[in-house]
């Protein structure tokens, strides 16, 4: 599942995800009917619209194979959020079945396939941003473990790590001042440790923070960890 954001803006991340999975020996398929996990509609309170999108997605991804997503946010939607919108719905079991097979990418690599170290090289200081949707999941730790295992990477922690970056999906456009204020505080903490790049498991956070930084004239290099993993493979 490449996610709607990658479909629109981040094709390189989608490609990197495929390459990383194939490096690990997986055979990857891309059901072309996919579009979105339904989260924007859930968050907006339009649960009828949400169910429509989730039903389509469940149909597109029907079967047995694990569904891998380079986004903790979309996985949280399918694993938890959808449950709210499908309370009392007759096809809730189908949705739950999809959720059980859905993995965030780092979680899949480390806990699904048992791979804890990554080959190759990347000479960079990295500030890693844990997205809020990875709270209470294994994704953040898994990504950190993989990144930390790459030769040449130095991970730089920064302050107020528990504070949200301010993206929040439609929140970013319904509450633009608050969203931007939160993002600037976050960027302040990150830029204080002067990393070579800002890395995360959620492209949405990076799009928001990267966009804010660029508009402010202090751009920061942003990469999804899947891109770092892919790039490391090409460096020895």
Partner 1 sequence: MALQPIDQFAARLPAAQRESVRQATKGTHEKRTQLLLDRFADGDGLRRLAGQIKQHVIENLDTYLPQVEARLQANGARVHWAATGEEACAAVLGILKARGATKLVKAKTMVSEEIGLADYLERHGIESLETDLGEFIVQIDHDHPSHIVRPIIHKTRGEIARSFEREGLGAYDDDPQVITQRARRYLRKKYLEAGAGLTGANFVSIESGRLVVVTNEGNSRFCLAASKCHIALVGIEKLVPRDCDLALFLSLLARSATAQPLTVYTEFIAGPKSPAQPDGPEEMHVVFLDNGRTEVLASECRDILRCIRCGACLNVCPVYRQAGGHAYRSVYPGPVGAVLSPMLAGGRFPEFADLPKASSLCGACQEVCPVDIPIPDLLLRLRDRGKREGAALASAGTPPMGAWALLASRPALWRAALAAGKLIDHVPTRLLPVPALQAWSAERTLPAWRGGTFRAWWRRRGRRRPGNGAQVP
Q: Where in 105-144 is the site for partner 1 (CB under 8 A)?
A: 132-133, 135-136
Which uninterrupted H or E stretch holds 199? strand 197-200
The Cα-based distances of 110 to 21, 104, 122, 141, 179 in angstroms read 12, 10, 19, 9, 32
CA gap 70, 74 in Å, rounded: 8
Question: Applying CB under 8 A, which of residues 1, 20, 41, 190 lies at the interface with partner 1?
Answer: 41
Strands 102-104 and 151-155: unpaired
Question: Applying CB under 8 A, which of residues 1, 20, 23, 29 lies at the interface with partner 1?
Answer: 29
15: how many CB neighbours lie within 10 A of its CB? Answer: 15
Contacts (CB under 8 A) with partner 1, residues 203-232? 207-208, 210-212, 214-215
In the three-class reduction of DSSP (H, G, I as helix; E, B as strand; rest coil), residue 213 is classed as helix
Q: Which of these ranges, 55-63, 146-154, 190-198, 225-233, lies near partner 1 under the rule CB under 8 A?
A: 55-63
Tell me the chain's radius of gyration from C-alpha atoms.
Answer: 18
Which lies closer to partner 1 via its Cβ, residue 3 or residue 150? 3
- Of residues 97, 86, 71, 79, the one with CA closest to residue 1: 71
Residues 6+ apart with CB under 8 A from 195: 124, 125, 126, 127, 156, 220
Question: Applying CB under 8 A, which of residues 62, 154, 160, 193 lies at the interface with partner 1?
Answer: 160
* Minimum gap (Å) between residue 56 Cβ and partner 1: 4
* Minimum gap (Å) between residue 123 Cβ and partner 1: 25
* Minimum gap (Å) between residue 151 Cβ and partner 1: 28
Question: Applying CB under 8 A, which of residues 1, 20, 42, 82 lies at the interface with partner 1?
Answer: 42
* Minimum gap (Å) between residue 207 Cβ and partner 1: 6
Residues 6+ apart with CB under 8 A from 217: none
Question: Applying CB under 8 A, which of residues 27, 90, 157, 236 lies at the interface with partner 1?
Answer: 27
Contacts (CB under 8 A) with partner 1, residues 59-78? 63-66, 68
Contacts (CB under 8 A) with partner 1, residues 180-199? 180-183, 185
């Amino acid at each position: 599942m490449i996610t709607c954001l990658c479909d629109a803006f981040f094709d390189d991340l989608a490609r990197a995800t495929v390459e990383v999975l194939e490096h690990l020996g997986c055979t990857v398929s891309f059901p072309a009917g996919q579009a979105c996990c339904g989260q924007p509609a859930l968050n907006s309170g339009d649960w009828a619209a949400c169910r429509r999108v989730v039903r389509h997605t469940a149909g597109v991804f029907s079967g047995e194979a694990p569904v891998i997503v380079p986004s903790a946010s979309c996985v949280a939607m399918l694993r938890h959020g959808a449950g709210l919108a499908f309370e009392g719905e007759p096809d809730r079991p189908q949705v739950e079945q999809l959720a059980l097979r859905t993995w965030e990418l780092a979680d899949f690599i480390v806990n699904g396939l048992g791979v804890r170290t990554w080959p190759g090289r990347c000479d960079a200081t990295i500030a890693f941003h844990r997205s809020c949707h990875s709270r209470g999941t294994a994704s953040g730790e898994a990504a950190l473990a993989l990144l930390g295992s790459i030769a040449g990477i130095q991970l730089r922690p920064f302050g107020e790590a528990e504070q949200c970056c301010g993206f929040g999906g439609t929140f970013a456009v319904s509450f633009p001042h608050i969203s931007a204020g939160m993002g600037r505080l976050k960027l302040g903490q990150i830029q204080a440790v002067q990393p070579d790049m800002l890395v995360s498991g959620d492209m949405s956070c990076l799009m928001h923070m990267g966009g804010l930084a660029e508009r402010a004239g202090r751009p920061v290099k942003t990469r999804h960890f899947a891109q770092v993993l892919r790039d490391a493979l090409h460096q020895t």
